[in-house]
Amino acid sequence: MMRRYFQCLADRDAPAALRLCTELVEAGRSPVDVLLDVVAPAQHEVGRRWAAGEWTVAHEHAATAISESVAIALGARIPQPDPARGHVVLACAEREWHGLPARLVGFALQEAGWRTTFLGASTPPTQFARFLDDADADAVAISCSVAAALPAARRMIDASRETGLPVLVGGGAFGRDDTRAKALGATAWAPDARAAVRALESIAPPPAGPSVNRRAGIDEHAELVLRFAEFRDSARRRWAAVIGEDAATPLADDALDHALHSLSAALLTDDSRLLREADEWLSELYSARGGPSCAVPALWSALRAVVGEPLPEASRHLGLLRQVGRSAPRLI
């Protein structure tokens, strides 16, 4: 069924997509099951096609718009809980523009008896904090799929803790376990929407006090943010010395930003796996789009050469890349 739905997205046939999902619900499947077992996997395939260079950004946006409209239509079929188990405010961290996963979590929570308020994509932390002051919420859920948004997620977690609310987090940027969630002060982490329902049932209000222990990486994260443009320019020059004009393309711009943001997030969470994930993603991206095979390892080497002296923790994280997996022989 997911394949049929994905074909509707590929054909940009919104009526057919909605009709297919509606028929599944009318045949007895719950709206949440259709959203999580049909719509969500199809969206994952949409992202894979874009990353492989098979679809343009415009194609991806068109497909996502269809899935969002389908999600809203099916969500309207989920009864509002009366009485509700509590009120959950859901938001995407600032710079996180993928709002559909958080919306699906919200519908799963609603089906489980929670009243939900979804604030949408890329919610500024200051505006989020002001909203919590008047929201009468019982818990907060924060979605983050890109490493560049983790610093903003941390500020949202802090704002939630200051109001005494437990914080549930999820999304690809948090990885495959609760390591990063704990490092940023979240109460709980969930890998998917169904797990989010179970996690919310068990979390308690967070303890008082600062959410993040003071570490060298925290200070280096702050310095990297302040000197981002400087490090970016220096790394580009070193990178260009290896791969030439290929360092001046839009793909190279995106790769350089992604690598720096991943390094920043690794410092913030003390989790070097963020760099490993970035390395794998960038390598697949360059391979799919015909980029030079030396581009990604040369990028990491350039970054380490630039940040190594002023940011020793950053250099340590980058050094770990050569100790595991397929990145090992490529870095210096």
Q: What is the mean pLDDT of residues 194-211?
A: 73
What's residue 322's pLDDT?
Answer: 65
Residues 91 and 162 in one domain: yes
Q: Which of 207, 211, 227 is nearest to 269 (CA)?
A: 211
Q: What's 51's domain CATH number?
A: 1.10.1240.10
3-state helix, strand, coil in the chain (%, to 5): 65, 5, 25
Residues 303 and 320 in one domain: yes
pLDDT digits (tens, 9 = 90+) for 77-99: 999 888 889 999 999 999 999 99
Given a cut of 90, whether residue 118 has pLDDT beyond it is yes
What is the total count of domains within the chain? 3
**Which residue range(s) make up the domain with 13?**
1-78
pLDDT digits (tens, 9 = 90+) for 8-60: 999 999 999 999 999 999 999 999 999 999 999 999 999 999 988 899 999 99
Residues 52 and 150 in one domain: no
Q: What is the mean pLDDT of residues 243-255?
A: 87
| CB-based contacts of 164, cutoff 8 Å, min separation 6 | 205, 206
Between helices 100-111 and 57-75, what is the axis angle to 10°?
10
* Cβ neighbourhood burial of 195 (10 Å; 0-12, 13-18, 19+): middle
Given a cut of 80, whether residue 204 has pLDDT beyond it is no
pLDDT digits (tens, 9 = 90+) for 108-117: 999 999 999 9
What's residue 212's pLDDT?
Answer: 47
Distance CA 324, CA 1 (A): 38
* Cβ neighbourhood burial of 290 (10 Å; 0-12, 13-18, 19+): exposed
Residues 320 and 254 in one domain: yes
Cβ atoms of 188 and 210 within 8 Å: the answer is no
What's residue 154's pLDDT?
Answer: 94
Which of 18-22, 95-99, 215-219, 227-231 is predicted with the least confidence, judged by mean pLDDT?
215-219
Q: Which residue type occupies 193?
A: A
E strand intervals along 45-148: 87-92, 115-118, 139-143
Two tokens, residue 219: 């200070």
E strand intervals along the chain: 87-92, 115-118, 139-143, 167-170, 188-189
Last residue of a domain, one of 78, 105, 128: 78
Q: What is the mean pLDDT of residues 57-84?
A: 94
**Per this entry, what is the length of the chain?**
332
pLDDT digits (tens, 9 = 90+) for 150-190: 999 999 999 998 888 999 999 999 999 999 999 999 999 99
Residues 87 and 205 in one domain: yes
Last residue of a domain, one of 44, 61, 78: 78
Last residue of a domain, one of 26, 53, 78: 78
Cβ atoms of 217 and 268 within 8 Å: the answer is yes
Pairing of strands 188-189, 167-170: parallel
Given a cut of 90, whether residue 141 has pLDDT beyond it is yes
Cβ atoms of 166 and 114 within 8 Å: the answer is no
Q: What is the mean pLDDT of residues 207-219?
A: 59
